[in-house]
Chain A
Amino acid sequence: MNRAMNSALPGSWSVSLARLVPVFLLVLAMGARAGVEVYDFSSDEGYARYQQLTFELRCPKCQNQNIADSNAEISRDLRKEVHRLIEEGRSDREIVAYMVERYGDFVHYRPPVDASTLILWAGPVVLVVVGVAAVLWWGRRRRRLQPDSSDPLMPDERSRLDLLLNAGQHAPPDAVRSGKVAPAAAPGDRLPSTATSQSGTRFGSAPDH
């Protein structure tokens, strides 16, 4: 189908199409350029401030993008506004205040300390303090309850271990030797079923004491 159409074209047609390629490319390039705003700054310092401010101001529409990154319509407007205010000679602080007056604290990535943002600022510090205090308290308690420092186990852990070891002694010798901790888990044993279940029960109930 395509082939047929191509062959139907007169020779001069394909030549002029080839000539048009640069024009097509130019049109494409113009389209790409239209997406980027160009601002002229009267000073390099103004340009640097523009970069800094658009990096710090947050797009109200897109939640977690600064207005420099965002393609939202509102970010475009705010960039334009930042440029205008810089060229008017306003200070960074004034420009941020201007935006906050209209869009609230949300528009700035550094929220001020007040009652509603206190948890943001103080939360991490409080958590660290609480965590350190808890670790210290635990350590102190351990030392107090453990008079014999050569024993790495707490007294209650020691008694529980004793209990477990005793339970192991009552288990059938071949089951323990073959590495099966719980004798009940060895179905192939030729032992009487009562002995297996008894030692198994004892082992199972041991951790509760």
Chain B
Amino acid sequence: MKRFLLFLPLLLFALMVLLFKAMLGHDPSALDLARKGQPFPAFSLTELRDENRMVTHGDLRGQPMLVNVWATWCPACRTEHPELLRIAASEGIAVIGLNYKDDRKAAVAWLEKLGDPYRFTIFDPDGRLGLDLGVYGAPETYVVDADGVLLYRHVGVVDQQVWREKLQPLLAGLDGSSSGDRTASAGGMSPAPVTAGREQ
């Protein structure tokens, strides 16, 4: 018993090391996606470049995609822009823009200048859709599956590492695999909305 006590500090230290290691990549300010496993919230808004064209949640279907929340007032959005361009061009993933609480002219000018990675961009000047999604700061990037179900949210800049470690594995699990694999890769989400309408 006495001998065991001698090892107690070492054991405590080992436990602390494990705990620190587990929390090392953890960002306490990143909130979990409240609507995880639920369909993308319903909306009907104009397209950024074409104000006569309406886009809705029905347009976010048919294939897995990324929905990127951005604005011209957001410096970090500029940082991640080249990576979004790369993902859209060379990874074959559809990236949809959600222009959040922004000015239409400024946003279009931004895309003209920096390049446009988006299939289309939802224009949400009042932040209503952002509120329904639970956006609390740009940039945020959502992973939506082919049935329009929200699977994951990344808060902050999307860079090579985020793509490689978080987004790509998740999206790879969605492409051409059985629904069983898909729920596994989505990590603990409820399987009900995913299996529905899978045979297409």
Contact = CB atoms under 8 A, between A and B. Distances in A.
A24 interface: no
Contacts of A60: 31, 134, 136
Interface in B131-158: 131-134, 136-137
B104 interface: no
Interface in A44-99: 60-61, 63, 73-74, 77-78, 81
A77 B133 CA distance: 13
B16 interface: no
10 contacts: A60-B31, A60-B136, A63-B28, A63-B29, A73-B137, A77-B127, A81-B131, A102-B134, A103-B134, A104-B31
Nearest to B29: A63
A65 to B, nearest CB: 13
A74 B136 contact: yes
B34 A100 contact: yes
A104 B134 contact: yes
B31 A106 contact: yes
Contact of B34 (A73, A74, A78, A103): A103
B78 interface: no
10 closest A-B pairs by beta carbon, nearest first, are: A104-B34, A60-B136, A102-B134, A74-B136, A103-B134, A61-B136, A106-B31, A61-B137, A104-B32, A103-B34
A37 interface: no
Interface in B4-45: 28-29, 31-35
Contacts, number: 35
A55 B28 CA distance: 22
A151 interface: no
Could you tell me the dominant secondary structure of chain A's interface residues?
helix
Contact of A77 (B28, B31, B33, B131): B131
A103 B137 CA distance: 12
B103 to A, nearest CB: 15
A101 interface: yes
Contacts of A104: 31-34, 134
B31 A102 contact: no
Contacts of B34: 100-104
Contacts of B132: 102
Contacts of A63: 28-29
B2 to A, nearest CB: 13
Contacts of B32: 104, 106
A173 B25 CA distance: 65
Residue among B31, B35, B136 having the largest count of chain A Cβ atoms under 10 Å:
B136
A101 B41 CA distance: 11
Given A103-B31, A104-B31, A106-B32, 15 more contacts: A60-B31, A61-B137, A63-B29, A73-B101, A73-B137, A74-B137, A77-B127, A77-B131, A100-B34, A101-B35, A102-B35, A102-B132, A103-B34, A103-B134, A104-B134
Of A61, A101, A103, the most chain B CB neighbours within 10 A belong to A103
Contacts of B131: 77-78, 81, 102
Contacts of B127: 77
A60 B137 CA distance: 9
